[in-house]
Amino acid sequence: MSTVLKPLADRVLVESAPAEEKTASGIIIPDTAKEKPLKGTVVAAGPGKTDEPMTVKVGDSVIYGQYSGTEIKLDGKTYLIMRESDIYGIVEG
Protein backbone atom coordinates (compact mmCIF):
# COMPACT_ATOMS: atom_id res chain seq x y z
CA MET A 1 0.00 0.00 0.00
CA SER A 2 1.84 3.12 -1.21
CA THR A 3 -0.88 5.48 0.09
CA VAL A 4 -0.82 5.41 3.90
CA LEU A 5 -3.76 6.36 6.15
CA LYS A 6 -2.76 7.12 9.73
CA PRO A 7 -5.90 6.62 11.84
CA LEU A 8 -6.63 9.24 14.54
CA ALA A 9 -7.11 8.49 18.25
CA ASP A 10 -8.60 4.99 18.80
CA ARG A 11 -9.37 4.30 15.13
CA VAL A 12 -8.10 1.19 13.32
CA LEU A 13 -7.77 0.50 9.59
CA VAL A 14 -8.79 -3.08 8.84
CA GLU A 15 -8.49 -5.19 5.67
CA SER A 16 -11.44 -7.61 5.58
CA ALA A 17 -10.54 -11.28 5.11
CA PRO A 18 -11.96 -12.94 1.96
CA ALA A 19 -14.65 -15.59 2.54
CA GLU A 20 -12.26 -18.52 1.71
CA GLU A 21 -9.70 -17.58 4.34
CA LYS A 22 -12.33 -17.68 7.07
CA THR A 23 -13.03 -21.39 6.62
CA ALA A 24 -9.32 -22.25 6.53
CA SER A 25 -8.64 -20.59 9.88
CA GLY A 26 -11.47 -22.41 11.56
CA ILE A 27 -13.65 -19.34 11.98
CA ILE A 28 -17.16 -19.86 10.64
CA ILE A 29 -19.77 -17.19 11.12
CA PRO A 30 -23.23 -18.74 11.71
CA ASP A 31 -25.90 -17.55 9.26
CA THR A 32 -28.46 -17.42 12.02
CA ALA A 33 -26.54 -14.85 14.11
CA LYS A 34 -28.45 -11.63 14.72
CA GLU A 35 -25.35 -9.57 13.99
CA LYS A 36 -22.80 -11.49 11.90
CA PRO A 37 -19.19 -10.95 13.18
CA LEU A 38 -16.51 -10.61 10.51
CA LYS A 39 -12.75 -11.26 10.40
CA GLY A 40 -9.97 -9.00 9.13
CA THR A 41 -6.37 -7.88 9.56
CA VAL A 42 -5.22 -4.63 11.19
CA VAL A 43 -3.37 -2.56 8.57
CA ALA A 44 -2.92 0.62 10.67
CA ALA A 45 -3.83 1.68 14.20
CA GLY A 46 -4.16 5.10 15.84
CA PRO A 47 -2.18 6.13 18.96
CA GLY A 48 -5.19 5.58 21.26
CA LYS A 49 -7.19 8.11 23.26
CA THR A 50 -5.90 10.06 26.29
CA ASP A 51 -5.23 7.50 29.09
CA GLU A 52 -6.44 4.64 26.88
CA PRO A 53 -3.54 2.96 25.05
CA MET A 54 -4.33 0.69 22.09
CA THR A 55 -4.36 -3.10 22.39
CA VAL A 56 -4.41 -4.19 18.74
CA LYS A 57 -1.33 -3.74 16.56
CA VAL A 58 -0.59 -3.94 12.82
CA GLY A 59 -0.85 -7.53 11.60
CA ASP A 60 -3.36 -8.67 14.23
CA SER A 61 -6.20 -10.85 12.96
CA VAL A 62 -9.36 -9.42 14.49
CA ILE A 63 -13.10 -10.16 14.78
CA TYR A 64 -15.57 -7.25 14.58
CA GLY A 65 -19.29 -6.61 14.22
CA GLN A 66 -21.06 -6.80 10.87
CA TYR A 67 -22.01 -3.12 10.90
CA SER A 68 -18.73 -1.78 12.30
CA GLY A 69 -16.68 0.83 10.53
CA THR A 70 -16.80 2.79 7.27
CA GLU A 71 -15.54 1.48 3.92
CA ILE A 72 -12.65 3.30 2.26
CA LYS A 73 -10.55 2.54 -0.88
CA LEU A 74 -6.76 3.10 -0.88
CA ASP A 75 -4.88 2.32 -4.14
CA GLY A 76 -7.95 0.45 -5.38
CA LYS A 77 -8.30 -1.89 -2.38
CA THR A 78 -11.21 -1.64 0.07
CA TYR A 79 -10.54 -1.24 3.81
CA LEU A 80 -12.63 -0.54 6.87
CA ILE A 81 -11.93 2.27 9.35
CA MET A 82 -13.42 1.59 12.81
CA ARG A 83 -12.85 2.31 16.52
CA GLU A 84 -10.95 -0.27 18.59
CA SER A 85 -14.05 -0.64 20.78
CA ASP A 86 -15.82 -2.10 17.70
CA ILE A 87 -13.35 -5.00 17.73
CA TYR A 88 -14.40 -8.07 19.76
CA GLY A 89 -11.03 -9.82 20.01
CA ILE A 90 -7.79 -10.98 18.42
CA VAL A 91 -7.66 -14.42 16.71
CA GLU A 92 -4.61 -16.64 17.23
CA GLY A 93 -3.63 -20.09 15.91
Q: Applying CB under 8 A, which residues contact a second copy?
A: 2-9, 11, 13, 25-30, 32-35, 37, 44, 46-47, 50-52, 55-56, 63, 65, 70-76, 78, 81, 84-85, 87-93
Q: In this structure, how many other beta carbons lie within 10 angstroms of the beta carbon of residue 45?
A: 21
Q: How far is the CB of 58 from a second copy (least distance, A)?
A: 14
Q: How far is the CB of 41 from a second copy (least distance, A)?
A: 15
Q: How far is the CB of 23 from a second copy (least distance, A)?
A: 10
E strand or H helix at 20? helix 19-24
Residue with Cβ nearer a second copy (4 or 58):
4
Q: How far is the CB of 40 from a second copy (least distance, A)?
A: 14
Q: Which residues contact 14 (CB under 8 A, 6 or more apart)?
A: 40, 41, 42, 43, 62, 64, 69, 79, 80, 81, 82
Burial of 91 (0-12, 13-18, 19+ CB in 10 A): middle
